[in-house]
Structure 1
Amino acid sequence: MSKKRTIGVVLFPEFELLDVFGPLEMFGIASDSFHINMVAQSKEAVASRQGPKSVVEHTFDEPIFYDILLVPGGQGTRREVDNKAILDWLRLQAHRAEYVSSVCTGSALLAKAGLLDGVRATTNKRSLDWGVSMGPKTLWQRRARWVEDGKIFTSSGISAGIDMSLALIQKILGPEKAQEIAKRAEYSWNQDANHDPFAK
């Protein structure tokens, strides 16, 4: 049996709901392999862009390290790219993490933190030019559902995070387990990382 990996999900005001809970549904189905933690700058519940709030379990100042980082996007990323606390935490965590992942404009936070320098990555195509401005040294992929480069997984807009999370689960637990999870979720998994119908 594989070890149980901890997932640190970064929350900030105006995060995108599906960016977080789409991937977490996939990881949560494999609860014997993954333990999910919600992490934010403070212990106050964090409101999503759509309104519903999420409970915070751990804060940035706690000496806890995570095996997998999940960084969502959303309107709040426009503000958080100037938040030293979140950028410093991402740098600290990313060096120890086994995998670093982002959904949508979450990759802009990784890029601003310098974690995508020289790395192939993608983001929400509607926000691609802004993402590029946050990480001029990133090798941005203008057509990709998600991109895997070493231990870093980045995905395109919103629902693409579900496809990416299944790809990461496949990397860790194997294709049969990833297929089983997609089937249990009744989700039609796009397994082709280059199939990006929204790139136009």
Structure 2
Amino acid sequence: MQTLTALLFDNFETLDLFGPIQMFGSLPEHYRIQYGSLLGGVVSNKHGAALQTTAIADLNHSTDILLIVGGMGTWQVVKATDFSQALVSLSTQADWVLSVCTGSALLAKAGILDGKRATSNKLSWQWATAQSEQVQWIKQARWVVDDKYYTSSGVSAGMDMALGFIADRHGIATAYQVANYTEYQWQQDAEHDSFYNS
């Protein structure tokens, strides 16, 4: 059993979080999910999604998989030194680090992706990639894997990445089982994002 910690902040993007959580949550025998934030308490977003979170320092389980989401809130927390420090600490502890959308910009700003290949949201590409010149940004990718880091493109790409991660850990048959259970048409080709030129 591995623990996935979703690190949240106000104004996170709804599907960035709940898309991958749906995929991982479909395999409760393998994944336990906990929701953390810098100080704990209720974290909410513009769609009215509000979650009770635990302060990072008080998480019940150590983090095996760290999930970093994106959204408009990244424009605020990217400037927060305490958030970046927490991100570095959790990323160092985790066996795997997964980001969705502009979540990769937070990792990049914190120096976590230095020397790594990564991608991000195409609509926010200029802003996201401006957070670090030390990252090899790959614009055409749906998601990118480099060492223990999985970074995905915008919003719905998090589900494709999550299924890719599940396929890498448990085999493609299990990934298809989850995709079928959720009635989701999985974009299986990590190197191709149909939103690349949109």
For this structure pair, what is the TM-score category when the shorter chain's length is used for normalisation?
over 0.9
C-alpha separation in 1, matches of 2:71 and 2:161: 17
Report the equivalent of 1:117: 114
Runs of 5+ consecutive residues of structure 1 not aligned to the other structure: none
Would the aligned equivalents of 1:49 and 1:75 in 2 still touch at CA under 8 Å? no
Report the equivalent of 1:105: 102
Q: Could you state the TM-score of these two structures normalised by the residue count of structure 2? A: 0.96
Q: CA deviation at 1:174?
A: 1.4
C-alpha separation in 1, matches of 2:47 and 2:108: 25
Report the equivalent of 2:181: 184
C-alpha separation in 1, matches of 2:10 and 2:135: 25
Q: Structure 1 residue 22 and structure 2 residue 34: aligned?
A: no
Describe the superposition over 1:68-98 as per-residue Cα deviations: whole angstroms up to 9, x where unpaired: 0000000000001011222111111111211
Which of 94-103 and 152-161 deviates more? Answer: 94-103
- SS of the aligned residue for 1:39 comes to strand
Report the equivalent of 1:67: 64
Report the equivalent of 1:43: 40
Counterparts of 1:51-62 in structure 2, within 5 Å, are: 51-56=48-53, 58-62=54-58
Describe the superposition over 1:38-90 as per-residue Cα deviations: whole angstroms up to 9, x where unpaired: 0001222111232221111x212237530000000000000010112221111
Would the aligned equivalents of 1:49 and 1:74 in 2 still touch at CA under 8 Å? no
Report the equivalent of 1:196: 193
Partner AA of 1:187 in structure 2: Y
- SS of the aligned residue for 2:124 comes to helix
Partner AA of 2:55 in structure 1: T
Q: Structure 1 residue 134 and structure 2 residue 124: aligned?
A: no
How many aligned residue pairs are there? 196
Q: Could you state the TM-score of these two structures normalised by the residue count of structure 1? A: 0.95
Would the aligned equivalents of 2:41 and 2:55 in 1 still touch at CA under 8 Å? no
- SS of the aligned residue for 2:23 comes to helix
CA RMSD of aligned residues (A): 1.1
